[in-house]
Structure 1
Amino acid sequence: MKRKIMDFGKLVAEVKRLRDQGKTVVHSHGVFDVIHPGLVQHLTDSKEQGDVLAITVIRDKDVRRGPGRPLFAAEYRATNVAALHPADLVAVVDDDPPYQCVKKLHANLFAKGKAYGESDLKIHERIFGRDREQYFGDIKIHETDGFFFSSSQIARDLLKLFPDQTNSFLTEFAKRYDFNHIADQINRLKSMKVLLIGDGIIDEYHHCQSMERSSKAPLVVHKYIEHEVFAGGAFAIANHLSGICDNVRLVTLLGKDNSREEFIREHLRSNVQPHFFYRSDGPTIVKKRYLNMHNNQKMFEVNYLNDEYIDEDCEASILEYINTVDKQYDLVLVSDFGHGLITKAIIQAVRARGGVLGVNSQTNSANKGFNLITKYHRPDFVCLDEPEARLATQERFTEMGEVAAKLAAEVGTQCLIVTLGKNGSIAIGDNGEENRTPIFSANVVDTVGAGDAFFAFTAPCFAAAMPLDLISFIGNVVGALAVRIVGNRRPVEKHEVLEFVHNLLH
């Protein structure tokens, strides 16, 4: 059985060798984490169409079947499918974008289940904007007959990935919105022009291995193993936005000394247009987190920053830019981490521009209690987490619906969304309408940056006049995807959101 499993490069070479010998090679591709009768019949039928059946198994990070998937790691899924009699050759492959391995492998036939073959392809065409030829080239497609089982449905039914309350929510939500409508709404954001003003942050993750207790002090000694560096803060928000909006302009602050500008430019998406200002009295903000590499638990953090307000000369330069930059932006966003960039004068200038204004005013260890959303007057859209909302209202124990309604009225916003961690989110609309949406995440890897991703997707949805319940739903989908990413290692992609939505509603 193990002889059937190989890396993808070797599989490509083997398929070419077999085809050169005149053999007919059939290719099947999927997740293969639930071995059920429909799958076995599909593989049996596929093998009967040729001499050799080659199977590619999607690697873990590219599985987009909703929360809790895949059920098993790729190596186990490959071993399981290789144990089935029809399988001759098996390899684990990446699948971003989907089906890219099909043209690379170039078998004689590509086999898909007839029960969902056409609909599956159409869904992927909606998500990725690709047609059949781009997926498969001149490779003939064979649709297998037989009864159909959905591994996603089996997983949901047997494993109860969601509590009953969430399943009930999804059932009712699917009556109001179908996948095609949601995809259309998200794709409409492509033409939106966004101006983002905020604190850019460089996030460093230093992975360490714990050793023994120090003999000279009451502390545990750690051994450095490796580190990763990410573009976080407003840089990360700009990258999230760039996946759904073609035109994103970023206004942010760097330090004159050790600005890290080259790194930042390299880690901004091509359709993000940055405009940097520089402060002479502090560095570009760097937040170093030290983690236990075995469980990804954060042990402590060191911040390199000057969190005092920028000087008058720097402020004047930014104000001049804000007042003269193109007025034709559909949406102006402020990502305020309370690290000295967003002064009272800049808040006033941003509000005076007119148009839709969205604000995320964050509470963190550097500003706790001193960076509240209440310093903003009548922002159109506000996104906070629960502690930030409670601090702003000074309501420690009051029921969260009352807190959200009170805060929305106090700041005069048309839409307030408060993320509630494991309890999902609560949104308050312009007319006092309240909407509660459960979480859709089963696996949490890292919560850092999840709120930024939520803000980056929901603010454009609000600016596009989507209904409150749809905005919240999309936000919670994005949040579920974001917590599966380590820090700001990469942005949440639009196609991930659409695939997740499709799997939730089907």
Structure 2
Amino acid sequence: MKEKIINLDEIAEIISLKKSQGKRIVLCHGVFDLLHIGHIKHFKEAKNMGDILVVSITPDEFVNKGPGRPAFNTSLRLEALSALESIDFVFANKWKTAQQTIKIIQPNIYCKGPDYKDHSSDLTGKITDEEAAIKFVGGKIMYTDDITFSSSSLLNKYGDLHSQQHEVFIRDIAKNNSFESINLKLDSMKNLKVLVIGETIIDQYVFCEALGKSGKEPVLVLRDLETQEYLGGALAIARHLSDFCNNVSLLSFLGEDNEYKSFIEEGIEENIHLNFLTKSNSPTIVKRRFVDSVDRKKILGVYSINDSALNKEEEAKFLESFDKLSKEHDLVIVSDYGHGIITPKIADYISKTDKFISLNAQVNAANIGTHSIRKYHDINCLIINANELLHEMRERDGDLEKLALKLKKIIKANYITVTKGKDGAFLFNDKTVPVNCPGFAVEVVDKIGSGDALLALLSVCLYSKIDDDLSLFIASLAAAQSVESIGNSKPVNKVTLLKTISHFLK
């Protein structure tokens, strides 16, 4: 079995030799997370199409079937496949799809299962690219005809991937929603015009190696190895929406010298329209985090910031811009990081608009003790972290649901959602019984930005009148997706989200 497991560099040479001997090469590609009878029949039929059957698998880092997947890592999946008599060689792919692999191996046949005959059912759209690749190298795509099973369905039914709370929640979602209906609902958001308001923040990550204690002072000494910068703050929220809504606008502030403007313009998606004002005597906000390069744990944070309030002239310019932009958009998402951009006057003005307003007012190291949500009122949707709720209500601990209902009443919000990290989130509408959604994150790389992802997707879902439980489910999966990458390096991807939902509902 071991001799069947090879790497991509070796397979190209082996296949070239086999083809020179007149052998017909068949390539199959997939995740093959839980090997089952459907796979076995698929491989047997594929082998009958030629002489040598080569199987490539998607490596762990590119599997997007949802949290906790793959259930079996790359090494175990390779070992399982190598045990099948019909397979001659198996290897781990280097890319998300087989497109590049096809060009390297140049098989005679690229074989897929019967569920891929209808290319429109492939959420990624990559099957079309793979068909083009096999035709380019002179081969053809063929499909097996035998019965099919779903690894996701079997794992959901017989595996131990989810808690009982997860299973009950997903069962209720599946009872009232088909995947097709959810896909249509998400697709209907593309025509929404969304205005995002909040601070522009550059998240800077300085990856370091710890050298040890200074020889003369009680100071930890680090060696900086690499610096990466990402679009954070309100920019991150706009980016999370960009794959779902065709028209997203941002109203925000840069520092008086417009620092990072070109960096932002180069990194932002084309369907995000930037509207920047400048704040006097201020830099563009940079939140610098020193991170251990090995375990990716944060060691120290240093902020470049002036969090004093806007002056009267800047405040007037903001209100003028908001007046114009809000009339052109369907809903407004406000993320108030408490750095002086949204004054009490601006908060009151935003609250009085007749647009759907969704709000997150965050507590952080720079504003704790001074930042309050109560400058807002008559909000459609408030999203708040459990610790922020306790801080706002001046409670050390307490019943989160009772506190949420109390705050909802104080600021006259139609919805309030409280996030609880790994324990999920709950949402109150006009009823006194909350919608509870478990957390879905499994591998947490970085929690920065997860609340922004949830805010973005929950806002557009509730505005679109998607059921509360489904809205919270979609938003929670978006948050789970965001914590799988460092900082705000990647916005929520619609295809990945849909594939996750699809696999949960099987």
What's the CA shift for 1:39?
A: 3.0
What's the CA shift for 1:308?
A: 0.6
The 5 Å alignment of 1:184-195 reads 184-195=184-195
Q: Which residue of 2 aligns with 1:441?
A: 441
Question: C-alpha separation between the residues in 1 aligned to 2:18 and 2:315?
Answer: 68
What's the CA shift for 1:87?
A: 3.1
Q: Which residue of 1 aligns with 2:464?
A: 464
Question: C-alpha separation between the residues in 1 aligned to 2:441 and 2:314?
Answer: 42
Distance 1:142 1:400, change over 3 A: same
Q: Which residue of 1 aligns with 2:322?
A: 322
The 5 Å alignment of 1:16-55 reads 23-55=23-55
Question: C-alpha separation between the residues in 2 aligned to 1:272 and 1:238?
Answer: 7
Question: C-alpha separation between the residues in 2 aligned to 1:244 and 1:12?
Answer: 39
Distance 1:131 1:84, change over 3 A: closer
Distance 1:262 1:78, change over 3 A: farther
Distance 1:409 1:87, change over 3 A: farther
Question: C-alpha separation between the residues in 2 aligned to 1:101 and 1:189?
Answer: 33
Instruction: Show CA shifts across 1:208-257 (max 9, x none).
Output: 22233333233433222222111111111111111110001111111123
Instruction: Show CA shifts across 1:455-477 (max 9, x none).
Output: 11110111111111111111111
What's the CA shift for 1:100?
A: 4.2
Instruction: Please say which of residues 330-339 and 255-264 is displaced more in the overlay.
Output: 255-264
Which letter does structure 2 place at the counterpart of 1:361?
A
Q: Which residue of 1 aligns with 2:141?
A: 140
What's the CA shift for 1:131?
A: 8.8
What's the CA shift for 1:313?
A: 2.1
1:503 aligns with 2:503: yes
Q: Is the 8 A contact 1:285 1:305 kept in 2?
A: yes
Q: Is the 8 A contact 2:153 2:503 kept in 1?
A: no
What's the CA shift for 1:155?
A: 4.2
Q: Which residue of 2 aligns with 1:63?
A: 63
TM-score, normalised relative to structure 1: 0.90
* SS of residue matched to 1:93: coil
Distance 1:206 1:78, change over 3 A: farther
Instruction: Show CA shifts across 1:323-371 (max 9, x none).
Output: 2336131111111101111112322333344221111111111111322
What's the CA shift for 1:15?
A: 6.1
Q: Which residue of 2 aligns with 1:289?
A: 289
Q: Which residue of 1 aligns with 2:180?
A: 180
What's the CA shift for 1:20?
A: 7.9
Q: Is the 8 A contact 1:43 1:87 kept in 2?
A: no
Question: C-alpha separation between the residues in 2 aligned to 1:32 and 1:14?
Answer: 23
* SS of residue matched to 2:308: coil
**Identity rate of aligned residues, in percent?**
32
Q: Is the 8 A contact 2:482 2:490 kept in 1?
A: no
Which letter does structure 1 place at the counterpart of 2:183?
A
Which letter does structure 1 place at the counterpart of 2:358?
G
1:244 aligns with 2:244: yes
TM-score, normalised relative to structure 2: 0.90
Distance 1:82 1:208, change over 3 A: farther
Distance 1:258 1:39, change over 3 A: same
Distance 1:476 1:145, change over 3 A: same
The 5 Å alignment of 1:301-380 reads 301-325=301-325, 327-380=327-380
Instruction: Show CA shifts across 1:249-279 (max 9, x none).
Output: 1111111236111111111111111011112
The 5 Å alignment of 1:131-280 reads 133=128, 136-137=131-132, 139-143=140-144, 145=146, 148-156=148-156, 160-257=160-257, 259-280=259-280
Question: C-alpha separation between the residues in 1 aligned to 2:24 and 2:160?
Answer: 41
Q: Which residue of 1 aligns with 2:94?
A: 93
Instruction: Show CA shifts across 1:141-170 (max 9, x none).
Output: 221525x55433454566522212221221
Q: Is the 8 A contact 2:363 2:388 kept in 1?
A: yes
Distance 1:337 1:69, change over 3 A: same
Distance 1:214 1:40, change over 3 A: farther
Distance 1:152 1:48, change over 3 A: same
Q: Which runs of 5+ in 1 are unaligned?
A: none
Question: C-alpha separation between the residues in 2 aligned to 1:231 and 1:389?
Answer: 26
Which letter does structure 2 place at the counterpart of 1:88?
F
Distance 1:341 1:49, change over 3 A: same
The alignment yields a C-alpha RMSD, in angstroms, of 2.7
What's the CA shift for 1:42?
A: 2.8
Instruction: Please say which of residues 61-70 and 278-287 is displaced more in the overlay.
Output: 61-70
Which letter does structure 2 place at the counterpart of 1:247?
N
* SS of residue matched to 1:504: helix
Instruction: Please say which of residues 182-191 and 31-40 is displaced more in the overlay.
Output: 31-40
Question: C-alpha separation between the residues in 1 aligned to 2:159 and 2:211?
Answer: 38
Distance 1:470 1:248, change over 3 A: same
What's the CA shift for 1:402?
A: 1.1
Question: C-alpha separation between the residues in 2 aligned to 1:22 and 1:87?
Answer: 16
Which letter does structure 1 place at the counterpart of 2:244?
I
Instruction: Please say which of residues 369-378 and 216-225 is displaced more in the overlay.
Output: 216-225
Q: Which runs of 5+ in 2 are unaligned?
A: none
Question: C-alpha separation between the residues in 1 aligned to 2:249 and 2:41?
Answer: 52
Question: C-alpha separation between the residues in 2 aligned to 1:436 and 1:20?
Answer: 61
Question: C-alpha separation between the residues in 1 aligned to 2:233 and 2:166?
Answer: 31
